Amino acid sequence: MLSDISTPVLLLSLLGILFGLGLGWAARRFRVEQDPVVDQIDALLPQTQCAQCGYPGCRPYAEAIASGEADINQCPPGGEAGIRALADLLGREPKPLNPENGVEKPRTVAVIDEEACIGCTLCIQACPVDAIVGASKQMHTVIEEACTGCDLCLPPCPVDCIDMVELEPRLETWRRSRPAPKIALREPA
């Protein structure tokens, strides 16, 4: 009677131990260094590094979304299109941008009034993408191509000499606007 029950119990425990060992080994052998979801989310974020989402950069926000800590509607520079892309990736419903994080604005770049700049280096330290060059007591200037328009250099400036300006349309960057339907077509609801 006893031996009847002990054989399967033993067998199952043995199997359990074997599978456990196998899983334990596989977890070490095939361990994923980084969460691939974080990379995928990070690739969709605009990389403005503006911290309007409440995290110190796009990557930290991506990590927060992946862990479920942050919602997908906290990135104003990404805008509606960004939220839609995140919703598609994560299989969630798109929702409107959270107004607490800011509003979607056209892209701008920082311009330093070089006459007024006193060379305090505070904006250089604040810039998340090293787009400002200059040295102590020397005039600073912004590298236009590298500036993401994050506004983070504005608060530290003691003489308020930085302006955010919209880029002038040039022939290379000009694009046509969306054609307006001549009659009100019924768009899908």
Partner 1 sequence: MAAIKARAQDRTAGTGMTYPELTRQTRNAGEHLHHFHGGLRLRHNKKISCTRPVERPPLPECLVVPLQQHAGGPAEAVVKAGDAVLKGDVLGINVEQRSARIHAPTSGTVQGIENRPMAHPSGLVGPCVIISPDGRDQWSSLDTLPDWKSMDPQTLSDRIRETGVVGLGGAVFPTAEKASGGRVANVHTLIINGAECEPYISCDEMLMREHPDRIIRGSCILRHACGAEKIVIAIEDQMGAVQRAFETALEASGAENVSLVKIPSIYPEGGERQLIQVLTGQEVPLGSLPADIGLVCQNVATAAAVADAVLEGHPLIERYVTVTGEGIREPRNLLALIGTPVAHLVTQCGGYTEAATRMVVGGPMMGYALASDQEPIVKASNCILVMTEDQVTPPQDEMPCIRCGECARVCPAQLLPQELHREIRNNLWSEAEADRLHACIECGCCDFVCPSQIPLVDWFRYGKDELRQQALDQQAADLARVRFEARERRLERIKQQKRERIKLRKQALSNRSEQQKKVAAAVERASNRKSGMTEQGSEE
Q: Closest approach of Cβ 154 to partner 1, in Å?
A: 18
Cα distances (Å, whole numbers) of residue 31 to 23, 26, 28: 11, 8, 5
Number of residues engaging partner 1 in binding (CB under 8 A):
33
d(CA 86, CA 40): 9
Site string for partner 1, 152-181 (x = CB under 8 A): -----------------xxx-xxxxxxx-x
3-state SS class at 162: strand
For 63-118, give the secondary structure using H, E and C. Answer: HHHHCCCCCCCCCCCCHHHHHHHHHHHHCCCCCCCCHHHCCCCCCEEEEECCCCCC
Q: Closest approach of Cβ 18 to partner 1, in Å?
A: 43
Q: Which of 41, 52, 53, 57 binds partner 1 (CB under 8 A)?
A: 57
Interface of this chain with partner 1, residues 60 to 99, rule: CB under 8 A: 81
Give the binding site for partner 1 (CB under 8 A).
42, 45-49, 57-59, 81, 128-131, 145-146, 148, 169-171, 173-179, 181-183, 185-186, 188
